[in-house]
Amino acid sequence: MSKVEIVRKYALYSVYILLLTCIQVSFPDKLSFNSQIADLMFVFVVLVSYYFGLIDGIVIGLIVGILRDCFAAPAIIGFNGNVVSSVGIGAFALFGVSVFSATVFTVRIKRKFAFALLTLVCATLLYKFFGHGIIFIWTKIFSGSLYRLSFKELIIDSVLTQLLLNVIAFLPIYVLLRFAGPYKRLENPKLQAQEGRGTDNSWLTI
């Protein structure tokens, strides 16, 4: 990559991170449905990781996760019964999301739109179920309080609603990265060279 392309890459990453973070934090009511909010930051991390590789994904995931912790760290009930902010969970969660998104559907599979969408669906489901599992364990074992979500509230009101909102957010963020992203045509040259795309006809396509 030339110096101009490198500067463009970092500039666009910075702009999109700040833009999506500001939109999500400033207008949660406009992005919400059934008490869930379209997670623009999450979707951005998934797409960056899937299309541009593990290194970009981890760096962007950690930065976005730290910003999430700064602006909207989830509140939990501590050992003493007081509500405390769980700083660090956002960075850890989006780090895990970036690793998953960059690796699971990219082995011998070309990075195409359909697999990007599948990656988002799987990442969202894992994120929600893992999060609710942690909350359940924490409330039942450590804080001694009750886990109050019913099966309907867990599956329909939380998991499926979040999945729907994330899928809706997928398209505009995909278009943004596709036509005005840090790399042309959604292709990271270093990643492409490592994977040898175009020379190995064993890669799967859709």
Tens-of-pLDDT digits for all 206 residues of the chain? 788 889 999 999 999 999 999 999 898 888 899 889 999 999 999 999 999 999 999 999 999 999 988 887 666 665 565 655 666 788 899 999 999 999 998 877 788 899 999 999 999 999 999 887 887 776 776 656 666 778 788 899 999 999 999 999 999 999 999 999 999 889 888 887 777 554 444 555 55
Q: What angle do CA 92, 42, 169 make, to 5 degrees?
A: 170
Is residue 31 within 8 Å of residue 38, measured between CB atoms?
A: yes
Q: What are phi and psi of 148, to 5 degrees?
A: -95, 0
| Whole-number Å distance between alpha carbons of 42 and 97 | 8
pLDDT in tens, 70-128: 887 666 665 565 655 666 788 899 999 999 999 998 877 788 899 999 999 999 999 99
What is the DSSP code (8-state) at residue 81?
Answer: S
| Whole-number Å distance between alpha carbons of 189 and 166 | 28
Output the pLDDT for position 80.
60
Burial grade of 164 (CB within 10 A; 0-12, 13-18, 19 or more)? middle
Q: Which two tokens stand for residue 62?
A: 């950690």
What residue type is assigned to position 6 of the chain?
Answer: I
Residue 84 pairs in a beta bridge with 76
Please report the domains of the chain, with CATH numbers, ordered by start residue.
3-26+37-181 (1.10.1760)
Q: What number of other Cβ atoms are within 10 A of residue 63's Cβ?
A: 18
Q: What number of other Cβ atoms are within 10 A of residue 1's Cβ?
A: 12
Is residue 127 within 8 Å of residue 77, measured between CB atoms?
A: no
Question: How big is the chain, counted in residues?
Answer: 206
Output the pLDDT for position 198.
47
Task: For residue 182, give the nearest of 91, 66, 57, 64 by alpha carbon.
Answer: 57
Q: Which two tokens stand for residue 37?
A: 């909010």
Q: Put residue 76 in one of left, alpha, beta given phi > 0 → left and psi -120 to 50 → alpha.
A: beta
Element containing residue 77 per DSSP (H, E): strand 75-77
Is residue 38 within 8 Å of residue 32, measured between CB atoms?
A: yes
Q: What are phi and psi of 205, to 5 degrees?
A: -135, 160
Output the pLDDT for position 126.
95
